Amino acid sequence: MNDTTYDTTGALTSASSASGDFHAPSLLFELQYRFAPSSMVYVSYNKGFSSGGINPGQPAPPFSQVYQPEVLKEVEVGIKSDWDLGFIDLGGVKGRSNLAAYYGDYLNIKQNVTALSSAGQLGVFTLNVASAYTEGVEGQFTIQPIEDLTLGADVSYNHVAFTNFPYPTSAGILDYRGAPQSYNPYWTYTLSGTYHLPINHDYGDISIGANYSWIGKRSNTIILPQLPQNIDPEISDLDMNLNWKDVWGKRGLDARLWVTNLLQEQWGEGSLAAYQALGIYDRSVAKPRAYGITVRYEFGGPSQSEPETPPAAPPAVQAPAPVARSYLVFFDFNKSALTPQATQIVDEAAKNAGPAHVTQITVTGHTDTVGSDAYNMRLSRRRAEAVAAELEKDGIPSSEIEIVAKGKRDPLVPTGDGVREPQNRRVQIVYGGAAS
């Protein structure tokens, strides 16, 4: 239950007072049916609630000083399946497919709006300016045609349509019904592949990985979206890496050669409408091509050359060595595929689950801050599901994994340098009953 109460009587001006009491349940109901050992269908209903509040000033009528809670109600149906085509001559083709379709009502959408106050002065207010519906489909596919090769594809279609959008301007109230939502691409897809070289494992594990992503055109503002500078173009990006785990058989020594934005695509994001009125277009440009090498060495651990000898007498009882109780897995912007570094972290969390006597692991996905609430909530869940799938691959039963998704309205992670959004592109793994 979310419950928020505000009372600003006398705190604004001598002649202004306002109060608000906002409460509503946040709900999630899900029904699953497993029709085969490795296949299931599900239907879910969830309701999200973001509290209302009070503006530190009185906007001009018809808008109120108090803005109401933002609510998203969504229904989702889907199917998840692992399969094995045993009749293939190569020894069986393994794969995984997840399909989902959703529809949601988005009510009382909050927006920071530059508008006139009741005193005729220009100010920035938080207003309930719109309601909308969101609908779309998502698919995630993984196939392993041979043991050393894994291919993946993610595709999503997300459509948001405003059903009501009055917007205050100096010329009066304009109706922006049907305007595209900011930073919401209709289509996105990602193609990925990893190949492990067939070498003697005494020399380690060498793999080659590639990840290609494409994001469709999208408006960067709901105001005057028809202007060319307010349409961000299609984005395509290619990242590649060469990973060597346990270099020359040295356990704990890993090396990685990587390159990002191999295609040298350039794109930017448009400025706010308030700047456009002044003829200023402040664009943030994507990072250029970057490449480098990362070497990682894990200190400690048992020696491989010294055999264990049993003690002559039982040793004194000692406290077990501390095991990390939480792990952070970071993702690239707008992506839910695990990077090689992320995979290593998840594998380490799974490996340490046994010594820590873990019976429950909570996997919490966090999102970006660009795009709609509904889109980012699904993105955070895809990230959590990607980590959960890797944990299951490492032997953690699905019944011991709890998946939690956090949307852009949830608190961001505070950091010392003030850069909040990149720190939110992550999944957190926490052992049950343990402090972070």
Task: Domain ranges for the chain, please list them.
Answer: 323-436
Separation CA 351–CA 357 (nearest Å): 11
Separation CA 63–CA 263 (nearest Å): 48
Mean pLDDT, range 140-155, rounded to an integer: 89
| β-bridge pairing 93-116 and 122-146 | antiparallel
> Among 33-37, 59-63, 264-268, 309-313, which range has the highest average pLDDT?
33-37
HSE of 410, CA atoms in CB hemisphere, 13 A: 18
Find the angle CA(177)-CA(182)-CA(187) to the nearest 5 degrees.
Answer: 100
CATH topology of domain 323-436: 60s Ribosomal Protein L30; Chain: A; (3.30.1330)
**Nearest CA among 404, 379, 380, 400 for reference residue 391:** 400
pLDDT cut 70: percent of the chain above it = 70
Confidence of residue 100 (pLDDT cuts 50, 70, 90): very high
More confident call, 222 vs 356: 356
More confident call, 227 vs 408: 408
Under 8 Å CB-to-CB from 4, ≥6 apart: which residues? 20, 21, 22, 23, 51, 52, 53
**Tell me, what's the pLDDT at 31?**
92
CB-neighbour burial class of residue 354 (10 A; exposed 0-12, middle 13-18, buried 19+): exposed
CB-neighbour burial class of residue 285 (10 A; exposed 0-12, middle 13-18, buried 19+): exposed
- Please report, for residues 21, 238, 258, 260, 317, the alpha-carbon distance to residue 293 in angstroms, rounded to integers and kept in the order given: 54, 17, 6, 12, 44
Predicted TM-score (pTM) of this structure: 0.61
Furthest-apart CA pair in the chain: how many Å? 91
HSE of 110, CA atoms in CB hemisphere, 13 A: 21
Mean pLDDT, range 151-156, rounded to an integer: 92
**Tell me, what's the pLDDT at 354?**
73
User: Which run of H or of E encompasses 129?
Assistant: strand 122-146
Could you read off the pLDDT of 200-213 as tens digits, one per residue? 888 888 999 999 99
**Tell me, what's the pLDDT at 277?**
46
Question: Could you tell me what percentage of the chain is helix, strand and coil, using 3-state DSSP and rounding each to the nearest 5?
Answer: 10, 50, 40
DSSP line for 5-34: EEE-TTTSBTTB--EEEEEE--EEEEEEEE
Could you read off the pLDDT of 355-392 as tens digits, one per residue? 766 777 888 887 766 556 667 777 888 888 889 888 88
pLDDT over 80 at 320, yes or no: no
Confidence of residue 33 (pLDDT cuts 50, 70, 90): very high
**Tell me, what's the pLDDT at 88?**
47
Q: C-alpha dihedral over 240, 211, 396, 361, to 10 degrees?
A: 100
Under 8 Å CB-to-CB from 123, ≥6 apart: which residues? 57, 59, 114, 115, 116, 117
What average pLDDT is seen over the chain? 75
Confidence of residue 230 (pLDDT cuts 50, 70, 90): low
E-only strand ranges, 19-92:
19-24, 27-36, 39-50, 53-54, 66-67, 70-85
Confidence of residue 13 (pLDDT cuts 50, 70, 90): very low
Could you read off the pLDDT of 271-294 as tens digits, one per residue? 444 444 444 455 556 678 889 999
Separation CA 128–CA 141 (nearest Å): 39
Torsion-angle region of 350 (φ positive above 0: left; ψ -120 to 50: alpha; else: beta):
alpha
Is 172 in contact with 190 (CB distance < 8 Å)?
Answer: no
| β-bridge pairing 361-365 and 426-431 | antiparallel
Separation CA 140–CA 99 (nearest Å): 7
**Tell me, what's the pLDDT at 410?**
63
CB-neighbour burial class of residue 215 (10 A; exposed 0-12, middle 13-18, buried 19+): buried
| β-bridge pairing 401-405 and 361-365 | parallel
Residue with tokens 């873990």: 358
Tell me the β-bridge partners of 5.
21
Confidence of residue 338 (pLDDT cuts 50, 70, 90): confident
Find the helix packing angle between 340-353 and 373-393, rounded to 10°: 60
Separation CA 221–CA 184 (nearest Å): 10
Confidence of residue 337 (pLDDT cuts 50, 70, 90): confident
